[in-house]
Structure 1
């Protein structure tokens, strides 16, 4: 009898743990990973009151038309500059190049940057920074713009790279004003609605 009770207890615990894991939203591996990091109190940018009720970030529906191949034109001898942020902090960046692509029949261009601080960190030295705003900004998406991480290792020999706007994220300032975040340059506004990727954060 004791064995049966113990077995039932174990099944109940496993079942509860499984249900807790299933409550974390995300339709792709990218979304699930992002949600997991925001649920983790040691990593999350969320305020305590928002973290308590957090069940997952909001995303636009997955749309493969927002996965495009861009042609990269690298910027030669780009000067180092101080990028404006939401605070007095002025991190150092360089313009890495221009990305030209066609999205929903419209020709688009975005400037991509390289953090000079990241170059000193082996973990992030291959990361490039792609901030942008679009016609959903300040409405369905965060007004300060969204970010996309691009890796130098993903650039082909023909200097092309795949941009997946489904895999975008908000700056931490969208969740908590204690953070300092780079401001999206005006030239990186897309005159089109990017209804893919992360949406504006609805605070509770």
Structure 2
């Protein structure tokens, strides 16, 4: 009996190491998956802007375009946020860059922590897109942060999301992008970021902005 107990005591560190090793491998695999997803987003965005049928770029901006500048990928900015759905949302008109409006409703809010501080961002749903089968689960998160007018577009950036299945939602700011009107203010009508979605910190992730696009 004594030898059996000694054997168990000797095996405990082995099992602990084995479990830790398994968890580490799972974390590495998950991070690799997340990085692959972000790089796919970057490639797709570049391909879109290089496609003359899809790009918002015109004239020399399109001729000279090679690829978007991006902040270095940082999984710190891929955040699992708490999601709180808005009950009985009321449709409203969101002002746009051209002085017109687009119809949205508040779908919910994302509550998350960044560097130990809690923040809240409102998430919206387009009343027009929700009628289309392709976009019925599409959510819209416009935001501003302290990089705007410096390393990113002054009007802020956007995040595309899907309706979550539970009370959490992934906010991957590495996949944030500029509205079309950041590159072509004449042909596009972009929703203006609501004041409630202005973050007082830098979100150093996603697409950056180059002087060639400034109006």
Partner of 2:147: 136
Q: How many residue pairs are counted as aligned between the two chains?
A: 175
List structure 1 segments (4+ residues) > 3 angstroms apart after TM superposition.
Answer: none
Structure 2 unmatched ranges of 5 or more: 1-37
Partner of 2:93: 82
Partner of 2:162: 151
Question: Contact conserved, 1:94 with 1:115, CA < 8 A, in 2?
Answer: yes
Look up the SS of the partner of 2:212 in the other structure. coil
Partner of 2:20: none
The 5-angstrom pairing of residues 93-132 of structure 1 reads 93-132=104-143
TM-score of the superposed pair, with normalisation by structure 1: 0.83
Question: Contact conserved, 1:175 with 1:201, CA < 8 A, in 2?
Answer: no
Partner of 1:22: none
The answer on 1:63 being equivalent to 2:74 is yes
What is the Cα deviation at residue 191 of structure 1? 1.3
The 5-angstrom pairing of residues 23-38 of structure 1 reads 28-38=39-49
Match of 1:181 among 183, 190, 198: 190
Q: Distance in 2 between matches of 1:201 and 1:185?
A: 24
Q: Distance in 1 between matches of 2:210 and 2:42?
A: 14
Partner of 1:172: 180
Which protein is richer in helix relative to its size?
A: 2
The answer on 1:203 being equivalent to 2:212 is yes
What is the Cα deviation at residue 103 of structure 1? 1.0
* Aligned alpha-carbon RMSD (Å): 1.2
Structure 1 unmatched ranges of 5 or more: 1-26
